[in-house]
Amino acid sequence: MENFAYSNPVKILFGKSMINRIGKEASSFGKKALLVYGKSSIKSNGVYDQIVKSLQKASIEFEEHPGVKPNPIISHAREGVKKARETGCDLIIAAGGGSVIDEAKAIAAGIHYQGDLWDFFIGKAKINSALPLITVLTIPATGSEMNSGFVVTNEETKQKYSAGSFYSFPKVSILDPETGYSLPKEQTAYGASDAVAHLLEGYLTTCDEDSEITDNYVFAVFKTIISSCERIFKDPKDYNARASMMWAATLALNGQQALGYKNISFPNHAIEHSLSALYDMPHGLGLAIIIPAYMKHNISKISKRLAKLGGNVFKVSKDTETIKAYENWLRKDLNLKTKLSENSIPREDFSKIADNADGLIKLWGMGISKKETESILEKAF
Amino acid sequence: MENFAYSNPVKILFGKSMINRIGKEASSFGKKALLVYGKSSIKSNGVYDQIVKSLQKASIEFEEHPGVKPNPIISHAREGVKKARETGCDLIIAAGGGSVIDEAKAIAAGIHYQGDLWDFFIGKAKINSALPLITVLTIPATGSEMNSGFVVTNEETKQKYSAGSFYSFPKVSILDPETGYSLPKEQTAYGASDAVAHLLEGYLTTCDEDSEITDNYVFAVFKTIISSCERIFKDPKDYNARASMMWAATLALNGQQALGYKNISFPNHAIEHSLSALYDMPHGLGLAIIIPAYMKHNISKISKRLAKLGGNVFKVSKDTETIKAYENWLRKDLNLKTKLSENSIPREDFSKIADNADGLIKLWGMGISKKETESILEKAF
């Protein structure tokens, strides 16, 4: 088990009607908020109204910054920074899924930075401050509500890159499982696939394989996501299943999922980011395509880890059985098309995808060759 | 799944040689520390020297407050407050197990309070401030290193009571699994029993039994403690087993073990505190005596919970089998004497024990009659 430092300052408010507390919480941090959100979903499911009512009650002014894309883009984040500055916002509120929260983190970090926002993503600048951020999560998936990282796409350079800092933790995150009732089925599935991917990246890439407590934590969260999805697909208004799913997705990337693991990396994210950047593919879907292929490609190296995972999560005992069980879950339970060919990504693009992924692979220092990436893509075809 | 608010601001530094960072950490919070510890163990295992060297390097002055008892007593905590005030300490450092950390929390809370320290424990006063606290944990057991509660015994009134506040979270807790190498075997066993008890109190007393994510978290931590103990008893210097055990014990009472559970209570702790207060019994041993009896007494009420626990942790399927497996683990694996009669507690004392427990049962509003307590004691005999 590797040494680690861990702290997570996010205050979580979890459950029914918790959104009504946002005004009171906001008043601890500022007077005027930039309210960041995506399309119309928070208006149709009542989240927007709850937030506005609570902010008004607490006399918190706000400006709106709608239109965040599912893969948020840097130009829109830059506009958010401009708007927050011009209107004198001293607080950011994000209402939506991980994309909205990620863009809001970028905006919060950018306010006091005089250079270009993209500098944070390419290692050209460090984040040294951020406006306080409050999030209202509506899609369990990315864990962004309880961590300090964020991912944004530069649509000009076709780079989907990440940034982060201790200043980027939200101050408060509100998680109301009832917001899931109106989620389209595929959103629940993408979220589940994404959350599990966060568990798997650390679990499969650690160089120190003797961290029993963290392995068991990973299995616990993984099993919960499987059983919760099963219940949700039977009854989308199963509150307790939505609740377990939501908290599990948070626990899947709040840092605890990899404590004690050594030199972990995010190879599947690097390749998936390329798919999202080039084809605007949903992140959770891209991961469902890449990870089984990654497992097959690396089977000899991660055979023991796969077997242990299978034994604890799927009641199987062999590495190959684990991959099969995981793929089955993605395809049959989550109903995801886990092949590139099923998603209209042609073989001819492999070199372009690998090239794009290579930028991130090099930035993250992962040492995966383009040939290897192409070989994984081939297995994902 | 019940609504919850959760935040945990403790910064954890985990692993080998992390104690050497204490000087640097301390310098963020103060200039002069009260160094609280127990007997000689931190001197013989090198922890004391590491701390002193690091503090000196960072020019942090310190006063010593040794002599904390395994069940810490209020008079000694009062002395600590006096010493810290007289010598102008602006920071508390606790080096030891949960007892040392708990007394240190009491001292930290008492500095700015003009009344008697015991007021915090009997609900007569609220903690409104505390000196910053840094802990160096040497015994995985109580979870006090990452929570905001603490337990102290009033040796005059024979009350072992608890207190807590948001101000009582340590600022930094340093966990070095190597400190476990010199632990007597029974200390490891008491710690394991204590940590598991923290999981069981919430798991068995929740009124909302549909919190799958937290149930799975509980099982994960419980299983880790079992497998780690097995390895530790085979090889006391098995670093990774010590490490998993140490982090598991922290996760067993850092708040996460009961998120979503409803109206949980600590009935076994209430009764055990009576044993500790009257007979100075080690806390983990007392819990190993009381909990199996509590399970038997309440079997019809908690039958389903026991069966689920057994299925996930012990590979058994019936409530009675779970109790048996848990008792076996305590007796055979941990080598604990789980009967009152084996620990020289006479039947004639049952009324006195129940009377003592009743104070805490009433303070905590638990509604367990003295007759019921005696019936549990009978089953524990």
A11 strand-pairing partners = A172
CATH code for the domain in which residue A307 is found: 1.20.1090.10
On average, the pLDDT of chain A sits at 97
* Interface contact flag, A217 B217, Cβ < 8 Å: yes
B299 inside 8 A of chain A by CB:
no
* DSSP notation for B14-61: ESTTGGGGHHHHHTTT-SEEEEEE-SSHHHHTSHHHHHHHHHHHTT-E
Residues B365 and B336 occupy one common structural domain: yes
* Residue contact A1–B243, C-beta within 8 A: yes
Mutate to test the interface with B, among A13, A214, A216 (most CBs of B within 10 A): A216
CATH number assigned to the domain comprising residue B171: 3.40.50.1970
Q: Are residues B28 and B136 in the same domain?
A: yes
Average pLDDT over residues A286-306: 98
Q: Which of A1, A4, A10 sits opposite B244 (nearest CB)?
A: A1
Using pLDDT thresholds of 50, 70 and 90, give the confidence band for residue A40.
Answer: confident
ipTM of the complex: 0.97
Q: What is the mean pLDDT of residues B325-342?
A: 98
- Listed residues B143, B161, B178: the one ending a domain: B178
**Angstroms from A369 CA to nearest CA on chain B:** 33
**Which of chain A's residues have a Cβ under 8 Å away from the Cβ of B16?**
3
Question: CA B252, CA A177: separation in Å to the nearest integer?
Answer: 25
Containing domain of residue A64, as a range? 11-178
Q: Is B33 exposed, middle or buried (0-12, 13-18, 19+ CB in 10 A)?
A: buried
Across B175-189, average pLDDT: 96
Q: Do B220 and A224 touch (CB under 8 A)?
A: no
Inter-chain CB proximity A7 and B3 less than 8 Å: no
Helix axes of A185-205 and A239-251: crossing angle, nearest 10 degrees: 30
Residues of A in contact with B223 (CB under 8 A): 216
Q: Are residues A356 and A217 in the same domain?
A: yes
Does A348 contact B at CB distance below 8 Å?
A: no
DSSP structure class, residue B63: E
Choose, out of A148, A208, A212, the residue to mutate when testing the contact with B (most B CBs < 10 Å): A212
What are the phi and psi torsion angles at B175 (to 5°)? -120, 110
d(CA B197, CA B257): 11
Which letter does DSSP use for residue A310 in this model? I
Q: Residue by residue, what is the 3-state secondary structure of B301-367?
A: CCHHHHHHHHHHHHCCCCHHHHHHHHHHHHHHHCCCCCCCHHHCCCHHHHHHHHHHHHHHHHHCCCC
For residue B348, is it within any domain? Answer: yes
pLDDT per position as a tens digit, A179-237: 999 999 999 999 999 999 999 999 999 999 999 999 999 999 999 999 999 999 999 99
Q: How far is A318 from chain B (nearest CA, A)?
A: 21
Which residues of chain B lie closer than 8 angstroms to A228, CB-CB? 212-213
Residues of chain B neighbouring A14 (CB-CB closer than 8 A): 3-6, 259-260
| pLDDT tens, position by position, B15-58 | 999 999 999 999 999 999 999 999 989 999 999 999 999 999 99
Residue B1 lies in a domain: no
What is the residue type of A239?
Y
| B15/B147 same-domain check | yes
Mean pLDDT score, B313-331:
98
Q: What is the mean pLDDT of residues A140-164?
A: 96
Torsion angles phi and psi, residue B35, rounded to 5: -95, 105
**Percentage helix, strand, coil for chain A under 3-state DSSP, each rounded to 5:** 55, 15, 30
Confirm whether A3 is domain-assigned.
no
- Residue B202 near chain A (CB below 8 Å): no
A185-205 vs A212-234: helix crossing angle, rounded to 10? 170
- Out of B2, B18, B248, name the one closest to residue A213 (CB): B248
Q: How far is B322 from chain A (nearest CA, A)?
A: 20
Of the candidates A197, A164, A195, A191, the residue with the CA atom closest to the CA atom of residue A271: A197
Please, which pLDDT band fits residue A22 given cuts at 50, 70 and 90?
A: very high
Among B163, B178, B193, identify where a domain stops.
B178
Of the candidates A10, A17, A260, the beta carbon closest to that of B247 is on: A260
**A251 in contact with chain B, both atoms CB, cutoff 8 A:** yes
3-state secondary structure of B216: helix
Tell me the mean pLDDT in the region A167-180.
98
Domain count, chain B: 2
Q: Are residues B205 and B347 in the same domain?
A: yes
- Give B90's contacts (C-beta < 8 A, 6+ positions apart): B29, B30, B31, B32, B131, B132
Final residue belonging to a domain, choices B178, B193, B211: B178
Q: Is A4 among the domain residues?
A: no
CB B260 within 8 A of CB B213: yes
When pLDDT is averaged across residues A332-346 and rounded to a whole number, the result is 97
Q: Is B165 within the bounds of a domain?
A: yes
User: Residue A266: pLDDT band by 50, 70, 90 thresholds?
Assistant: very high
Picking from B129, B127, B131, the residue whose alpha carbon sits closest to that of residue B119 is B127
**pLDDT score for B40:** 85
Tell if the pTM clears 0.90, that is, is over it: yes
Residue A259: its chain B contacts at CB < 8 A?
Answer: 14, 247
- Strand B172-175 versus strand B4-14 pairing type: parallel
In single-letter form, the type of residue at position B209 comes to E
Determine the residue of chain A that is closest to B231 in CA distance.
A212
The verdict on A9 touching B (C-beta cutoff 8 Å) is: yes
Q: What value, to the nearest 5°, has the Cα angle with vertex A8 and ends A6 and A10?
A: 180
Residues B162 and B73 grouped into a single domain: yes
pLDDT at B296 (0 to 100): 98
Let me know whether B252 and B288 are in one domain.
Answer: yes
Shared domain check, A202 and A282: yes
Q: What is the mean pLDDT of residues A90-98?
A: 98
Q: Which two tokens stand for residue A313?
A: 């999560």
Are A214 and A363 members of one domain? Answer: yes
The confidence score (pLDDT) of residue B53 equals 98
Residue B315, class by beta-carbon neighbours within 10 Å (0-12 exposed, 13-18 middle, 19+ buried)?
exposed
Distance CA A19, CA A36 (A): 15
Q: Residue B318: what pLDDT?
A: 98
Q: Which residues in chain B have Cβ-Cβ distances shorter than 8 Å to A177? A: 1
Q: Which region, left, alpha or beta, applies to residue A303 given φ > 0 means left and ψ of -120 to 50 means alpha?
A: alpha
Q: Token pair 């899924």 is at which residue? A: A97
Helix (H/G/I), strand (E/B), else coil: A311: helix
Which token pair is A86? 């011009």
| A6 assigned to some structural domain | no
Q: Is residue B32 part of a domain?
A: yes
Q: Number of CB pairs < 8 Å for A and B?
A: 124
Query: Percentages helix, strand, coil for chain B, rounded to the nearest 5?
Result: 55, 15, 30
Cβ pair A3:B12 closer than 8 A: no
Q: How far apart are CA A90 and CA A92, in angstroms?
A: 7
Q: Say how far apart CA B101 and CA B83 lie, in whole Å.
A: 17
Which SS3 state, helix, strand or coil, does residue A127 take? coil
A224 part of contact set with chain B, CB < 8 Å: yes
Contacts of A214 in chain B (CB under 8 A): 247
In this structure, are B83 and B199 located in the same domain? no
User: Do A202 and A340 lie in a common domain?
Assistant: yes
Same domain, A373 and A250: yes
pLDDT digits (tens, 9 = 90+) for B217-234: 999 999 999 999 999 999
| B5 lies in some domain | no
